[in-house]
Structure 1
Amino acid sequence: MHVSLGAYYTLILAVLVLMLGKLLTRHIRLLRDFNIPEPVSGGLVVAAVIFALHRFMDLSLSLESGLQSAFMLVFFSSIGLSANFAKLREGGKGLLVFPLLIAAFILVQNGVGVGLATLLGLDPLLGLVTGSITLVGGHGTAGAWGSVLETQYGLSGATTLGIACATFGLVIGGLLGGPLAKHLITRHRLARPLTESEQQQADATTVSEGSAVANFESPSHAPRLITADAAVETLALFAACLAFAEFMTGLTKGSAIQLPTFVWALGGGVVIRNLLDHVFGFKVFDRAIDVFGNASLSIYLAIALLSLKLWELSDLAGPLVIILLAQTLLMALYASLVTFRIMGKDYDAAVLAAGHCGFGMGATPTAVANMQAITNQYGPSHKAFILVPLVGAFFIDITNAFVLQLWISLLR
C-alpha cells in the first residue's frame, strides 16, 4: 500500500515530528548531553516506525518534495544573510590560518571516505557522503547534497545514508572534542581548573565586554523583539536570496561554474547582507534571520527524516561502520597533531581543537558546546569563541561546497 501526502499534510506531520523530538529531548538526558537536534530525535523514531510498517505491512509513504526543498533553501539563505564581514576584523590572523586548516581537513576527510569506499567495492560517491557532505556539513548539507546525488548522479539512498552518517557524526563530535582538549591541556600544562571565585570573576568579565565573544560565552543584552515589520523585511530578504539562487542556477546550468541551488542561495545571502550593511546602511535584523533560518532547518530535517528509507541501508551497514570509525580516528589525529600545533600549541589552540572536533564531525552548535565544556572548567578562550562560530557557520559551508564540487567532477 502506498500513501502520498500533499504539502499541507506534509507540514502537519513535520510539526508533529518536531513536537515528539522536543518531548523526547526534554525527558531523555542522553539526547540533551549529546546535543541531538529535536527533529533528529523525533524523526528517527518516526522513521523507525515507518520502517516497521514497510517491513511487516508493505506500506510506503511519499511526501511533498517541493516543500522540503523550499525550507532547505531558506536555511542556507539564512547562513549567507548572517555573514557580516564587519565581524571578521575581530578574528585577526587566525581567521586566515584556521579556514585553511579546515579546507585541508575537508580534502583529507573526503580522500579517506572515497579511498575506503573504493576499497570496499562501493560507489566512490558514497565516500563523499561518509566524508565532508555529512560530517563537516551536518544534517542540512547531508539532505541537500543527498538529493543532488540522487537526482543528478543516480546514487540511490544517498539522502538516507547522509542523515544516518550526520547523526553518527553529531554524537561522536560531541563525545570526542572535550576529552581530546582536556588531554592536550593536561599533557602540555596549558591551564589549571579554575577555582569557584576565579570562575565568577571570569563570568563577570565576559558579560561586561558586550562583544561578539560575550554573545557566545555569556549573552549580556536583552534580545530585540521580532515585530511584524521586521518579519516582513526578513521574508523579503529570503525571497531575494531564493530569486537569486533560481536565476543563477538557470544561468550556469551546464557551464563550468554550475553549482547546486542551495550554494547560490547561500552566496546570494552573503552579497545581499553586505551590500545592505556597507553600501545602503540598512541594519539587517540578525535575530529574525536566525529564527526563520532555524525554524526552516527544523522543518526541513523533519521532512527529510520522514522520507528516510532505512531498508536501503541494510546492505551498507558493515562498510559504513568501517568508514565512519576511520573518519573518527582521522578527526582525533588531525585536531591534536595539526589544528592544535599550527594554531599555537597554547590554551586557545586546545579549545580550538575541541571546536574543530565538534563541527568537523557534527555541527557548529556541537563545536560551541565542546568549547563551553572546556572553558567552564579552565577559563574563557575569546579567540576560540570568535573563530569557531565564524568559520563553522559560514566559511566551512562555502569551502565544503566548492571542494565537493571538485571531488564530484573528478569522480564523474
Structure 2
Amino acid sequence: MDIQFNTYYTLIWAALVLLLGKFLVSRIRWLRDFNIPEPVAGGLIAATGCYVLYAVMGYRLSFDGELQTAFMLVFFSSIGLSANFAKLKAGGRSLFVFLLVIAVFIGLQNAVGISMASLLGLDPLIGLIAGSMTLLGGHGTAGAWGSILEYEHGVQGAMTLGMACATFGLVIGGLVGGPLAKWLIRRNQLQGPEGNSEDMVDAASPNFESPRKTRLITTDATIETLALFAGCLAFAQLMTELTAGASFQLPTFVWALGAGVLIRNALDYVFHFEVFDRAIDVFGSAALSIYLAIALLSLKLWELAGLAGPLVIILAVQAVVMVLYVALVTFRVMGRDYDAAVLSAGNCGFGMGATPTAVANMQAITNQYGPSHKAFLIVPMVGAFFIDLLNAIFLQFFIKLLA
C-alpha cells in the first residue's frame, strides 16, 4: 500500500526529523564524538522506521519530491548569492589547489568504478554509474545522466540504479566525514581557533559556518532576500528548459547557483546595493537542514537491500578508496592543518554524497573545534559549482570512450 504525503505533511515530517536528530545528538555521546550531523542522525532513524513499515506491513511511504528539490535549489542559490568576487578572491590559491585535488579524484573514482565493473563481469557503463555520476554528482546528476545512458546507450534500469547508488553515497558521505576529520585532528594534534565557534563569527565569516548563531533579520531584508531567491529559481528553470536536449547540459541546481553569483555581483559592483548576508545565511542553512531531512526520509532502504552483490562490492570499494584518498592526498596537499581536516570532512561529504552533506559534515566539526573560514569559503563553491562542470566533462569523455 502506497501512502503519499503532500507538501504540508512532508514539511511537518522534515521538521520532526530535525528535532529528533537534535535530541539524539544532544543525548547520545557517541553521535557527538563522531560528529554525525543532526539531519543524518534523525533521518536514518526515520528511514529505518519507513523500512520496518514496508517490511512488516507493506506500507510504502512517499514524500513530496518537489519540496525536496525546491529546498535544494534554495540552498544552492544561497551559495551563489554569498559568492561575491571578494570572497572568491579570499579563497586564493587554496581554492584552485583543492579544485585540482578533486579533479584527480573524479578521474580516480570513475577508473575504480569501471575497473571493478569489468572485473566482476558487468557492463563498464554500470561502473560509471557507480562512479562520479552518482557518488560525486548526487541524485540530480544521477537522474540527468541516467536517462541518457538508459535511452541512448541501452543500459537498462540506469536511472533506478543511479538513484540507489546516489542514496548509498548520501548516507556514507554523511557518516564517514565527521569521524575521519576528527581522527585526523586527534592523530595530528591539531587545534582550531581558540574560543567558541559561534562567538567567533564576524561579518567577514562565510555563510553556513555557524548555523546556531543568532541572526538579526528585519522584515525588509527578508522580503528582499526572498526576491533574490525567486530570481535565482526562475533563471534556473528558464535555463533548464532552454538547454533541454542540448549536447552539453547542466543540472538545474548549477543554474540556480550561477544565477546567484551573477545577481550578487551585479548588485555589489554595478548597482552598489548592499545584500543582507545574514538573511541569506539563515535561509540557506534552514534549506540545507530541511533538504537533508526530506532526502533521508525518502530513502527506500529496500531498494538498497535489493542491489546486486557485485554492485555492493563496487560501492564498498569506492567508499574505502575515498577515505584513503582524503586522508592521504586531500589532507596532506591542503596543508595538514586544522583547515585541511575540515576540508577533508567536506571532501567526504560531496565525494560520496552531495554538497549539502559536505556543509553539514563541516558544521559538525566546527561546532566542536572552532570555525574554519577557509573551508567554508572553498567547499561550497568547489563542491556545488566547479565540480559539476568538471564532472560533466569527465562523464562525457568516459561515455564516449566506453560506448
Identify the TM-score tier after normalising by the shorter chain: 0.7 to 0.9
Instruction: Please identify, of 332-341 and 100-109, the stretch whose mean Cα deviation from structure 2 is larger.
Output: 332-341
Instruction: Please identify, of 143-152 and 226-235, the stretch whose mean Cα deviation from structure 2 is larger.
Output: 143-152
What is the CA-CA distance between 1:312 and the residue it aligns to?
0.9
* Change over 3 Å in CA distance of 1:367–1:121 after alignment to 2: farther
User: Out of 277, 281, 304, which is 1:313 matched to?
Assistant: 304
Q: Which blocks of at least 5 consecutive residues in structure 1 are unaligned?
A: 186-191
1:330 partnered with 2:321: yes
What is the CA-CA distance between 1:20 and the residue it aligns to?
2.2
For residues 26 and 164 of structure 2, the distance between their equivalents in structure 1, rounded to whole angstroms, comes to 26
1:176 partnered with 2:180: yes
* Change over 3 Å in CA distance of 1:58–1:124 after alignment to 2: farther
1:145 partnered with 2:141: yes
**SS of equivalent to 1:61:** strand
For residues 54 and 215 of structure 1, the distance between their equivalents in structure 2, rounded to whole angstroms, comes to 39
Matched letter for residue 273 of structure 2? F
What is the CA-CA distance between 1:133 and the residue it aligns to?
6.0
Assess if the C-alpha contact under 8 Å between 2:135 and 2:165 holds in 1. Answer: no
The correspondence of residues 214-225 of structure 1 with structure 2, limited to 5 A, is 224-225=215-216
Matched letter for residue 87 of structure 1? K
* Change over 3 Å in CA distance of 1:145–1:29 after alignment to 2: farther
For residues 23 and 378 of structure 2, the distance between their equivalents in structure 1, rounded to whole angstroms, comes to 32
What is the CA-CA distance between 1:182 and the residue it aligns to?
5.2
For residues 342 and 116 of structure 1, the distance between their equivalents in structure 2, rounded to whole angstroms, comes to 27
- 1:189 aligned partner: none
Matched letter for residue 74 of structure 2? V
For residues 49 and 92 of structure 2, the distance between their equivalents in structure 1, rounded to whole angstroms, comes to 50
For residues 235 and 331 of structure 2, the distance between their equivalents in structure 1, rounded to whole angstroms, comes to 39
User: Out of 380, 390, 393, which is 2:380 matched to?
Assistant: 393
- 2:354 aligned partner: none
**SS of equivalent to 2:3:** strand
1:87 partnered with 2:87: yes
Matched letter for residue 250 of structure 2? L
Assess if the C-alpha contact under 8 Å between 1:143 and 1:304 holds in 2. Answer: no
What is the CA-CA distance between 1:394 and the residue it aligns to?
0.9
For residues 381 and 41 of structure 2, the distance between their equivalents in structure 1, rounded to whole angstroms, comes to 25
What is the CA-CA distance between 1:8 and the residue it aligns to?
2.0
What is the CA-CA distance between 1:285 and the residue it aligns to?
1.6
For residues 312 and 239 of structure 2, the distance between their equivalents in structure 1, rounded to whole angstroms, comes to 38
For residues 338 and 190 of structure 2, the distance between their equivalents in structure 1, rounded to whole angstroms, comes to 14
The correspondence of residues 216-295 of structure 1 with structure 2, limited to 5 A, is 224-295=215-286
1:159 partnered with 2:154: no
* TM-score, structure 2 normalization: 0.80
1:361 partnered with 2:348: yes
Identity of aligned residues (%): 51
- 1:299 aligned partner: 290
* Change over 3 Å in CA distance of 1:129–1:72 after alignment to 2: farther
Matched letter for residue 257 of structure 2? L
Render the CA deviation track for 1:295-332: whole Å, top value 9, x for unaligned: 22222222222222211112337546544553454345
For residues 84 and 392 of structure 1, the distance between their equivalents in structure 2, rounded to whole angstroms, comes to 15
Q: Which blocks of at least 5 consecutive residues in structure 2 are unaligned?
A: 151-157, 350-357
What is the CA-CA distance between 1:14 and the residue it aligns to?
2.3
Assess if the C-alpha contact under 8 Å between 1:368 and 1:389 holds in 2. Answer: no
Matched letter for residue 60 of structure 1? R
What is the CA-CA distance between 1:90 and the residue it aligns to?
3.1
Matched letter for residue 382 of structure 2? F
What is the CA-CA distance between 1:244 and the residue it aligns to?
0.6
- 2:26 aligned partner: 26
Matched letter for residue 226 of structure 1? I
Render the CA deviation track for 1:171-209: whole Å, top value 9, x for unaligned: 2222223434555x4xxxxxx788xxxx99x659xx899
What is the CA-CA distance between 1:387 and the residue it aligns to?
3.5
Matched letter for residue 258 of structure 2? G
What is the CA-CA distance between 1:19 and the residue it aligns to?
2.3
Assess if the C-alpha contact under 8 Å between 1:159 and 1:308 holds in 2. Answer: no
Assess if the C-alpha contact under 8 Å between 2:18 and 2:38 holds in 1. Answer: yes
Assess if the C-alpha contact under 8 Å between 2:326 and 2:348 holds in 1. Answer: no
**SS of equivalent to 1:93:** helix
**CA RMSD, Structure 1 to Structure 2 (Å):** 3.6
- 2:107 aligned partner: 107
Render the CA deviation track for 1:24-76: whole Å, top value 9, x for unaligned: 22222222333333332222222222212222222222333222222221111
**SS of equivalent to 1:156:** helix
Matched letter for residue 233 of structure 2? L
* TM-score, structure 1 normalization: 0.78
